[in-house]
Structure 1
Amino acid sequence: MTKQTQALALAKSSEHGQFRQFAVAIFLLISALLIVLPTIASAQNYSFSSVKVEGNQRVESSAIVNYAGIERGQSITAGQLNGAYQRVLASGLFETVEMVPSGGTLIIKVVEYPTINRINFEGNARLKDEALEAVIESQSRRVLNPTVAERDAARITQAYSEQGRLAARVEPRIIRRSDNRADLVFEIFEGGVTEIERLGFVGNQNFTDRRLRQVLETKQAGLLRALFRSDTFVADRIEFDKQVLRDFYLSRGYVDFRITGVNAELSRERDSYFLTFNVEEGQQFKFGDITAVSEIDGVDALPYLEVLRLKPGVVYSPSLIENSISRMEKRALREGHDFLRVDPRITRNDRDLTLNVEFALVKGPRIFVERIDVEGNTTTLDKVIRNQFRIVEGDPFNPREIRESAERIRALGFFGNVDVNAREGTSPDQVIVDVDVVEQPTGSLSFGGTYSTNDGFGLVVRFNERNFLGRGQQFGLSFSTSSDLVDYGLNFREPNFLGRNVSAGVNLSFVENDNSETRFTNTVGEFKPSVFFPVSEYARTQFRYTLQNTSMEINTGETQPGSIIDKEAARGDLWNSSVGYSYIYDTRRKGLDPNRGVLLEFAQDFGGIGGDYTFIKTTGKAIAETKIWYEEVTLRAVLEGGALVSPDNDSRIGDRFQLNSRVMRGFDPYGIGPREIGAGYDDGLGGNFYAVARFEAEFPLGIPEEIGISGGLFYDVGSLWGLDDGVSGTGSVLYEDFSLRHVVGFSIFWDTPIGPLRFNFTKALKKEDFDREQNFDFTVSATF
C-alpha cells in the first residue's frame, strides 16, 4: 500500500469516528429529552386528593378551602394554584398565605391578622373621637387589615382638610396584644387652620369686591378669625362659590359672564391662601320684545301672553323665564290642555343689548305618571312629601312640575338631601317618580339672652319642632323674661289643613308687662286660632279669631285716685272677643327685580263678638326698598298707621296704640302722644290713632365685611293722638291733638356670633315739652 493510499484510509477512518461521536451525542440528547419532558410536564399539573389547612385559629378550615376554590381530585395548573393563593390572600383575613403541595395533599399555611382590641385617637382636639369614629371603616372586634387602616388614615386627613387644616397628618399604629389581638391607634397631627388671607377678584367692573364677597360662602379672614369657620380654605367650597357667582351675575342680566380661573396661592408661611377669582362680566342684557306663538291647532297664544309679568326693559334673569313658563303651563292645565309645553326661544340683539323672547306653545309627549315612590323617610309620613306634589298617579307628566316639587320638598327643611328623578315605567308612555330623602333633625331647644334699654336683661328659652310626629306640623313652646316682662307662649300649626294649601294653627300666650315707664302692670292671656292661605303669587291672607283676657293692676304705692289710669284699672278683668283678617302683598324676595321690592299690609279686627269690649281696629303698612351703588347701599321707606274706634268709648291703655322703638325711634314707649299730668304723676295714655313715616339707609362703613359691622342713617316723623270722648281724670290731658315729632339718628349694626346687636343714636328735631326722649337704644339677642 502506498503512502497515498494509507493516508486516504486514515482520513476515512477519522471521518467515520467523528460521525460515530456525533451520532452518539444526538442519541444521548434525545434520550435525555425523553426522560426530562414528562418530568417537566408533570411539574405543571397537580391533582390533590386532600387539602389541609394549618395556622388558622378563628377562621374555619372549610371557609379557607372555599376561598381557594380547589376541588379534590381535580387536575389544576400552576397558574390555577397561584389564583387560589391570590383568592385566599384577597379575603383580607390573613397576614401571610403559603401553598405547599405535598404529594396528593395540598397544605395551606396561613397567619391570621389580629383582631382589633380597641381603636384610639391620639392628638385630636378639633375633631372629637365620636366624629372620627363615624369616618373610619375599621371597627373594634373586627379583623385588623392594614390596607383598611391606611384608607381610614386618609379619610381622617380628608375630614381635617374639610375643616381647613390642610397640614394635618395621620399615622396608623398597630400595637400587638396577647391572643392575637391588637390595638389600632391613629396618631394625629392636626396642624393649623389654613385660612384665606385675601379673597379678591380680577375683571369685575360692575360690582365691587366687597359686594361679590357677600355672595360667596367662602369668607376672608379678619380680626375675629377665631370665631369664623367659613374663612378656611376648602377646595369643594370653591366649586360651590363658582356656581353661586355665576347665578348672581346671570340673575342680573350678565348672560356672557364666565369665570376664567381661580388662583389659590399659598403664603410664604404656608398657613394661608390668597384666593383670586378671574372673571369676565360681559354686558348686561334686558328683555326686548316678549311674544307668544301657538303651534297647536285650536290653541290661541294671546291669552297665554296676558298671564306674563315680563315687560320690555326688565333686566334679564333665567328665573323670570322659568316663572313665566310655569304660569303659562298652569293656565294650560286650567283650560284642559294637559300636554301643552312652553318652549322659550331667545333671540339676541347685541346692538341694543336686549334679548327677545318668543314663548312657543308646543305639543309635548303623551306621558303619564304611573306612580310616585318615596324612600328614605323613617319618621316623616309619606303624605307630607306627597303634599308637595301638584300631580298624582295618573296625571300627565310635566318635568318642570317635578323640579318645582323637588324644590318644595327641600324647602321643608326636614331633609339633609333630596333626590327626585323620573324613570320609565311599565310602558314607554308611563314614568315612575322616585323620591329619595335623607332625614335630618328638625327639633331644637335653645337658650338665649336679651338686653335692651327699655326692658333690661332677659332670658329666653325656646323649644321648636318643625316636623311634629313626622306629620310636617309645627309645634313650639317659649318662655322669656326680663326685668319688666314675662312671656309664655305655645303655638301649633298644620301647614296643609284638610290636604290643601292652607295653613291652620292656634297660638296661646300669657304676657305680664310691668313697664318701668308706667304705674301699672298689664296682664294679657290670649287664645288665637287662625288660617293662612295664598291668594296670588305675592299675596296671602289670614283670618283669625281672638279671645283675650286683660287685667290692669296699679303698682304698690303708686295709686293716684281719680286719674285716668286708676279709673281704667278699677274696671278689673275684661274679655275681648274679636274676629279679624290680614292681607299681605310682598315682592321683596320673589319680585321681578332682586334689588327692589314692596310690602303692603292691611289688617282689621272687629271686637264685640261676645266679650266686654266693642271696637274696630285698623292698621296698615307700606314698605319700599331698593339697593343702589353696586347693591351695597339699601334705601328703605316705611309708612304705617292705625286707627282704633270704640263706639262705647271704653278703650283702655292696653287697647290703644303706643309707639315703641320698632315703630318710631327717639322716644320711650308711651313717650309721646296723649298724657295726663297731675300732682305727682305723669302718665302716658297711648292714642287711638297713629301715623309714622320712616326713611333709612343702610351702608358699609369700610370695615372688613367679615366682622359684620355696618351703619345706617334714619329720619322718623310721626304722631300719636286721640282719646275716646269723655275720657277725663283729676289731671290735665295734653297732646290729644295731632302733632308731628321729627327725629334723626345714626345706627350701628353688628352681626356677631352671639347674636345681632343694634345701636341707635337719636336726636329729636321737634318734640313737645313733656315728651320723653330716648337718645340711645341698644338691643342684643343671643342664642346658645
Structure 2
Amino acid sequence: MKAGSKFLNAVSAFALSAGVVVSGASVAVLASPFTAEAAVIQRIDVRGAQRTGQEAVRSNLTIRPGVSFSNADIDESVKRLYATGYFSDVKISVSGSTLVVSVNESQLVNQVVFNGNRKIKDDKLQSVVQTQPLGPYSEAIIQADIQRLKEAYTSIGRSDVQITTQVAPVGQGRVNLAFVINEGDRTKISNINFVGNQAYSDSRLHDVLITKESGPLSFLTRKDVFSEDKMRADEEALRQFYFSHGYPDFRVVSADPVLDESKNEYTITFTVEEGPRYRFGDINVESTVEGVSGESLRGLVETKSGDTYNAKEIQKTMEAISKKVAEAGYPFARVTPRGDRNFQTNTVGVTYLVDQGERAYVERIEIRGNTRTRDYVIRREFDLSEGDAFNQTMITRAKRRLEALGYFAKVNISTQQGSAPDRVVIVVDVEDQSTGSFGIGAGYAGNDGLVLEASVEEKNFLGRGQYIRVAAGGGQDDSRTYSLNFTEPYFLGYRLAAGFDVFKSQTSSNNNYKYEEQGFSLRVTAPITEQLATTFKYNYKQIQYSPDGAFSNLSAPYQDLVNGGKYLQSSVSQTLTYNSLDSLTLPREGIYATVTQEYAGLGGDSDFYKIYGRARYFHLLSDELDMIGQIAVGAGHVVATGDNLNVFDQFTLGGRQIRGFKSDGIGPRMPNGDTIGGTTYFTASAEVSVPMPAVPEDFGLRASVFADAGSLYGNKVTNTAGILGTDNSLRASVGAGITWASPFGALRFDYAVPVAKEDFDKEQRFRFSMANQF
C-alpha cells in the first residue's frame, strides 16, 4: 500500500504519511507511529455504480465532505453498502481530498420460480423466501432461503425434502433463479413412548397428546406431523392433564425426538415424573380488601375438601372471586392461591388470598403472528381493553377462550413494562392454523335407507371468526337434503352469537306419498355464565305432501293435509343450555343439558306449546382403562293452544333415542302403519365405553355397551279412528356399539335388540349414523 503526498496535505491529523484502503467488510490501515484520529475530504467519487446510481451509494455512507471522519466511519460505510445486497465487492480509499468508493454490482434477480412443488403452492413459498424479483442476487440470502423452505416443508411433515437452485443469465446483469424441490416422502412418527408413568398407561397418555403416531389415515388428519412447537404444547398438555387429576408434583423430565433418516421416521420419548396423588385438604378464603370478607366469597369456591386435587378448579375459583371483587369496586384486586401440603396424608390445603394488588393499567394490547385472523377477533376475547385496570386473572381467561376457538395452533400471552411504572403492555402471540374442512358422511335413516352427505365447513370464515357450513345429501327413494348454516359469534360487537339456518329435504314413506320440507330459522345465543347460555329462535317450516303410488292408502290425518295442500308452521322458541363438559369431542366428565320451550301460532297452521329437554351426565369410571360412563334422560310434552294438534305438531320417537327401533318406530300409529306421533314422551339411557381392545388408541375406535328405555304416548290429532299405542307402555333395548372418530367426523355403528316392545312397533336392530351427541 503506497502513501500519497496529496493525502499528507489533506489530513493534518496524521504526522506522517498514511494510507487507507477498505476492501470487503474489513478495514486495513497503515499509519505512522503517530495516532491518526480524524480526516476531512472535499468530495466523494463513486465508481462502478451503473445500475444502482451514485446517489444511492452516497446515501449509505456515514462520511460527508467537509466533516471529519475516522477509520470507524469507513468500516461502517462498507458494512452498510454490503448490507444493501446490491454489491458483491466494495472498496473505499482516499486520494488526496477525495474519497474514492469503488463497487462491483451484484447481479439482479429477474424472476424467482419454484419447480417440483406439489404440496405447497408457489404463492406460499414466495412468501417464505427473501429473494425477490428485481432484488439483488446473493448467495448468502439464497442459502438462508433454502433453509426457510426446508422448515416450511418440515412443518407439513416432509423433513427429507431436498432443495437445489438453478441460475440462468438473461443479460444486462440479470438472472432467473429457480428453486428445484424434491419433496420426498412424508416424515412419519413411528412411536411415541413414555418412561416413568405408573398411574396412567401409554395409551391413555397418547390420547392427551396433540401429536399422534402415524396410521393408515394420517395423511388426512395430519396429526403425525412433528414440530418443536407441537412437542412443547404436548408437554404442557401432559402437565395440565396430571395437574387436573391429582398430581401437583408432576413434571416432564425430558422430551426427546429422534429422527431415523434411513426410514424417515421420528421416535419421540417423553420421560415423566408423576409424584404422589393428592386430595384437597382444608379450603379457606382470606381477604384484606376493605368491605369484602372472605366468608362472603366462600360460595364461589369450586374446590372441595376431600376431592381429588384439580388445578382447573383452582383456576375457576380464582376467576370467580376476582370477578366478584372487581364488581364490588376493586378492579385491581388480586387472588393468590396458597398451598399447604401435608406429605403424611397426601393432601393440599388451599387458601385463596385476596388483596388490593398493585395499581396498573393496560397501555396497549399488541397482537403478533396472526396472518389470517383479524385483530378484532382476538381482542374481543379479552374482558379488558386499553386504559382498563390490569387483571392477571382476566388474561388467563382470555387465553383459555382463544385456545377454545380452535383458530390457532398456539396461543401465548405475556406482559411487558409500558411507558410508565404503572403501565402494562399485553403481548399476544398466536399462530393461525387451518379451520376449514371438507367432509363426506354416511348414515342410515329409517325408511330412507343409506344416506350420504357431503359438506364444506369453515370455522373462521375470511379470518372474521364466523362459522359457515354448506351440506348436501341424498339416499334411496329419491331422498334429498340441503342445508346452509351461518353464525356470527359477536353480533353488533356484543357477545351474542347470531345466525340463521336454511334447509330443504325430500323423503317418501311406504310408497304412499312424498314429503317435502323447507324452511329457515333465525337465532341468537347469549351467555348467562361461563357454563349457561340461552338461545332465542324463530322457526318457519313449509311442508308439502304429494301422492306417490297407492294414494288411497293414506290414513286420515295425512289425507287431510294432502287435501289442504301446503302445511305451514311458524314458531318461536327459547332454549337454556348448560355445559360443564371437559370436551365436546370425547367428554369424560361433566353435564350437557338443554331445555326448550316452543310456541307456534304466529300465523301458519299450527297452534301449540311444547316443552322438552335432555340431559347427559359423563363420568370417568376408570382412569387406567379410560372407561367412560354416561347417563341420559329426556322428556317432552305438547299441548294444543287452538282446537287440535296437527299430525306433525306432535313428538315422534325412534332409533335416535331408543336404539333397536326405526326412526319414528315407536308410539301411536294408524292400522296401516303410518305414525302420527304423541303428546308426551320420556327416555332414559345408560352407556359404558372403552377404547377398542388390541387397537391403538390413536385410531379413535371405542367400544360400548348400552341400555335404552322410553315411551311415547297420548294423541290430540283428529280423524284417527282405530289408532294404536296411545298408552304409556315401556319400550326398552340393550346392545353394543362401535364409535370411530374418523377424519370425516364421528361415525357410530350400533346393534340393539328390543327387549320390551309392542307388536306394531317398527324394529331396526342395526343402525349406522353420524354420531352427533349434542
TM-score (norm 2): 0.83
Distance change >3 Å, CA 628–CA 125, structure 1 → 2: same
Deviation at 1:414, TM superposition (A): 6.7
**SS at the partner of 2:211?**
coil
Q: Contact (CA 8 Å) 2:512, 2:553: kept in 1 or not? A: no
Flag the 1:270–1:441 CA change in 2: closer, same or farther, 3 A: closer
Rounded Cα–Cα distance in structure 2 between residues aligned with 1:277 and 1:653: 61
Q: Contact 2:655/2:662 (CA < 8 Å) preserved in 1?
A: yes
User: Percent identical across equivalent pairs?
Assistant: 31
Q: Tell me, which stretches of 5 or more residues in structure 1 are unaligned?
A: 1-36
Q: Which residue of 2 aligns with 1:663?
A: 657
**Residues of 2 paired with 1:223 and 1:468: CA distance?**
32
Distance 1:49 1:587, change over 3 A: closer
Partner of 1:646: 640
CA offset digits 1:630-667 (Å, max 9, x no partner): 26222222121222233666333322222243222222
> Is structure 2 residue 144 aligned with structure 1 residue 154?
no
- SS of alignment partner, residue 325 of structure 1: helix
Confirm whether residue 682 of structure 1 aligns to residue 682 of structure 2: no
Identify if the C-alpha distance between structure 1 residues 270 and 610 changes in structure 2 by more than 3 Å, giving closer, same or farther. Answer: closer
CA distance in structure 1 between the aligned counterparts of 2:710 and 2:400, rounded to whole angstroms: 43
Q: Cα distance, 1:176 vs. partner? A: 3.3
Q: 1:451: how far off?
A: 4.3
Alignment equivalent of 2:268, drawn from 258, 264, 275: 275
1:210 Cα offset (Å)? 0.6
Aligned to 2:198: 205
For residues 494 and 70 of structure 2, the distance between their equivalents in structure 1, rounded to whole angstroms, comes to 73
* Count of residue correspondences: 737
Report the CA distance shift for 1:674/1:132 in structure 2 as closer, same or farther (over 3 A): same
Stretch of structure 1 that moved more, 414-423 or 299-308:
414-423
Which digits, 9 at most, give the CA deviation of each residue in 1:52-100, with x for residues without a partner?
A: 4444321223433554555568898888767765654454322234457
Amino acid at match of 1:646: A
Cα distance in 1 for residues equivalent to 2:699 and 2:428: 39
Query: What's the offset of the Cα at 1:133?
Result: 1.7
Task: Specify whether residues 72 and 284 from structure 1 end up closer, same or farther in structure 2 by C-alpha distance, changes over 3 A only.
Answer: same
Residue in 2 that maps onto 1:140:
133
* Residues 147 and 716 of structure 1, relative CA distance in 2, 3 Å threshold: same
Which is further off, 270-279 or 219-228?
Answer: 219-228
The reply to whether residue 311 of structure 1 matches residue 304 of structure 2 is yes
Picking from 738, 743, 750, the partner of 1:753 is 743
SS in 2 for 1:238: helix
Alignment of 1:485-564 (within 5 A): 485-489=479-483, 495-496=489-490, 500-505=494-499, 507=500, 509-517=502-510, 519-560=512-553, 563-564=556-557
Corresponding residue of 1:777: 767
DSSP 3-state at the match of 2:670: strand
Q: Distance in 1 between matches of 2:466 and 2:117?
A: 41
Cα distance in structure 2, aligned partners of 1:406 and 1:774 = 47
Counterparts of 1:83 and 1:374 in 2: how far apart (Å)?
Answer: 35
Instruction: Tell me what 1:633 maps to.
Output: 627
Moved more, 576-585 or 281-290: 576-585
Q: How does 1:212-251 map to 2 (within 5 A)?
A: 212-251=205-244
Residue type matched to 1:745 in 2? Answer: G
Q: Which of residues 607, 616, 620 is equivalent to 2:613?
A: 620
Deviation (angstroms), 1:555: 2.5
**Residue 452 in structure 1 maps to residue 444 in structure 2:** yes
Are positions 1:691 and 2:682 aligned together? yes
Give 2:696's aligned residue. 704
Match 1:184 to one of 171, 174, 177: 177
**3-state DSSP of counterpart to 2:673:** strand
Equivalent-residue separation in structure 2 for 1:535 and 1:47 (angstroms): 76
Helix, strand or coil at the partner of 1:310 = coil
Judge conservation of contact 1:258–1:280 (CA < 8 Å) in 2. Answer: yes
Counterpart position of 1:121 = 114
CA contact (8 A) 1:649 1:726 kept: no
Q: How far did 1:514 drift?
A: 1.9
Q: Which residue of 1 aligns with 2:286?
A: 293
Q: Distance in 2 between matches of 1:361 and 1:650?
A: 60
The residue number in structure 2 matching 1:22 is none
Contact 1:464 1:477 in 2 (8 A): no
> Is this contact kept in 1: 2:109–2:175, CA < 8 A?
yes
Of 647-656 and 440-449, the range deviating more from structure 2: 440-449
| 2: CA distance, partners of 1:103 / 1:610 | 100
Structure 2 counterpart of 1:672? 666
Unaligned runs of 5+ in 2: 1-13, 20-29
Counterpart for residue 9 of structure 1: none
Is 2:164 aligned against 1:174? no
Q: Cα distance, 1:149 vs. partner?
A: 1.0
Distance 1:432 1:758, change over 3 A: same
Distance in 1 of aligned mates of 2:263 and 2:101: 53
Q: Once the 2 structures are TM-superposed, how far is the Cα of residue 512 of structure 1 from its aligned partner?
A: 3.7
SS at match of 2:234: helix
Residue 489 of structure 1: CA displacement?
Answer: 4.5
Letter in 2 for 1:778: F
CA 1:230–1:612 in 2, change beyond 3 Å: closer, same or farther?
A: closer
Contact 1:641 1:690 in 2 (8 A): yes
CA drift of 1:168 comes to 3.2
Q: Give the SS at the match of 1:675.
A: coil
Whether contact under 8 Å (1:114, 1:144) holds in the other structure is yes
Q: Which of these residues, 333, 336, 342, is aligned with residue 349 of structure 1?
A: 342
How much does 1:284 deviate?
1.3
Separation in 2, partners of 1:229, 1:498: 36
TM-score, with length taken from structure 1 = 0.82
Change (3 A) 1:177 1:573: closer
Q: Quote how far apart the aligned CAs of 1:357 are.
A: 0.9
Tell me: CA distance 1:781–1:543, structure 2 relative to 1, closer, same or farther (3 Å). Answer: closer
Q: RMSD of the alignment, in Å?
A: 4.0
